[in-house]
Structure 1
Amino acid sequence: MTVMDDLLARGAVPEGYKVEIFDGTVIMTPQSPEQYWTVLEVHAAAKAADIARERIFGDVLVRFPGENDAAPDLTIVADGAGRHGQTYDCIDVLAVVEVTSEPDDEKDYVRNVRKYGRFGVDCYVIADPFKRMCTVLTEPVATGYAKRREIAYGDPVTLTLATGERLTVDTSDFPVRDPGE
C-alpha cells in the first residue's frame, strides 16, 4: 500500500483539497474556483466531442510505475481503459489538463512536463489563469515534449487525441486571476 492509498483509505483528504505526493513531499492544495470553472469548460468540450463520460474525470489517481502517482485536474483516457479500484494506469491516459494554482507553478510547468512526457501522455495542457494562457504540449519524449504551443485565453484550443478524436475548447470564458490574489 502506498502513502496515497493509505490517505485515501483513511478519508484523510479534506473536502475541497487535492493531495499529491511529489518527490516524497505531500502537497495538499485547496481547489480554487478558477480551477473548478476551467475544468468544467474543458469537460463540456470533451462531452461535446462525444467523448464518453467514463473516459473523462478529474482529481482521480493515475498510477505512474516507479514514480509518484498523480491526480490531474482533468484526465481523458482511452476507450476501454482499465480501472483499478479508484485508480487508472498512465498507459491509458490520452490527455491531461492542469490548471496552475500559483504563478509560474513549478509542479505544472517543470515536473509534470517531464513526468507526463516520459510516460507518453500524448497531450498535456497547462491552463494558467495568471498568464491568461494555455500551453499545449504534444509529441512526448523522454525529457518532456517536442512540441509546444501557447494560446491566449479568448482563442480556441483544439486538441487532437491519439485516437483521432478532436475537441475544441472555447477559452473565452476561462476565469483569470491576478498574481497577488
Structure 2
Amino acid sequence: MSVMSDLIERGAVPEGYKVEVFDGRVIMTPQSPEQDWTVSDVKDAVKAAGIARERVFGDVLITFPGENDAAPDLTIIGFDAERRKNSYSCVDVLAVVEVPSEPEDEKDYVRNVRKYGRFGIDVYMIADPFKQAVTLMSEPHAAGYGRVLEIPYGEPVSFTLATGERVKVDTSTFPVRDAQEG
C-alpha cells in the first residue's frame, strides 16, 4: 500500500486539501477557489459532451506502477475502467486536467508532463489562472507530449478522447489570479 492510499483509507486527508506524494514527501495543498471553479466549468463541459459522471472525477487516486501515485484535479476514464477500492490505474485514464496552485508550478508543467506522457495518457490539459491560458497536450511519448498548444483564456478549447468523444470547453468563464497571490 502506498503512503497516499494509506492516507485515503484512514480518512486522514482534511476536507478542502489535496494530498500528493512527490520524491518521498507528502505535500498537502489547500484548493483555491479558482481551482474549484475551473474544475467545475470543465466538468460541466465534459457532462455536456455526454460523458457519464461515473467516468469523471476530481482528486481521486490514480496509481502509476513504480512511480508516485497522483490525484489529478480532474480525470476522465475509459468505459471499462476497473475501480480498485478508491482508486483507478493510469492505464484506464483518457484525460487529465490540472489547475496550478502557484505560478510556474513545476509539478504540473514538468513532472506531470513527463509522467502522464510516459504512461500514455492521451490528453493532458493545464488550465492556468496565473498565465490566463490553457496548455493542451496530446500525442504522448516516453518524455512527454509531441503536440502542445497554448490557448488564451476566452478562446474555446476542444479535445477528442481515444473513445471518439469530443469535449469543447468554454474558457471565457475561467477565473484568473495575479501571480503575486500564488
* TM-score bracket, shorter-length normalisation: over 0.9
Write out aligned runs for 1:157-176 (5 A).
157-176=157-176
Q: For 2:72, what is the secondary structure of its paired residue?
A: coil
Q: Which amino acid aligns with 1:149?
A: L
Aligned residues: 181
Identity %: 71
* 2: CA distance, partners of 1:76 / 1:10: 25
* 2: CA distance, partners of 1:2 / 1:77: 21
Partner of 1:34: 34
1:22 has 2:22 as partner: yes
Shift of 1:166: 0.3
* 2: CA distance, partners of 1:170 / 1:158: 9
Give the TM-score, by structure 2 length.
0.98
Partner of 1:2: 2
Partner of 1:69: 69
Unmatched 5+ stretches in structure 1 = none
Give the TM-score, by structure 1 length.
0.99
Partner of 1:109: 109
Residues 141-173 of structure 1: per-residue CA shift (max 9 Å, x gap): 000000000000000000111111101000000
Partner of 2:45: 45
Shift of 1:25: 1.2
Q: For 1:45, what is the secondary structure of its paired residue?
A: helix
Residues 95-134 of structure 1: per-residue CA shift (max 9 Å, x gap): 0000010000000000000000000000000010000000
Residues 55-79 of structure 1: per-residue CA shift (max 9 Å, x gap): 0000000000010000000000001
* 1: CA distance, partners of 2:168 / 2:58: 18
Q: Which amino acid aligns with 2:34?
A: E
* 2: CA distance, partners of 1:123 / 1:9: 29
Shift of 1:9: 2.2
Shift of 1:10: 2.1
Per mean C-alpha deviation after superposition, the further-off stretch among 4-13 and 114-123 is 4-13
* 1: CA distance, partners of 2:5 / 2:44: 30
* 2: CA distance, partners of 1:150 / 1:175: 17
Instruction: Show structure 1 runs of 4+ deviating over 6 A.
Output: none
* 2: CA distance, partners of 1:166 / 1:5: 32
2:5–2:61 Cα contact (<8 Å) kept: no
Unmatched 5+ stretches in structure 2 = none
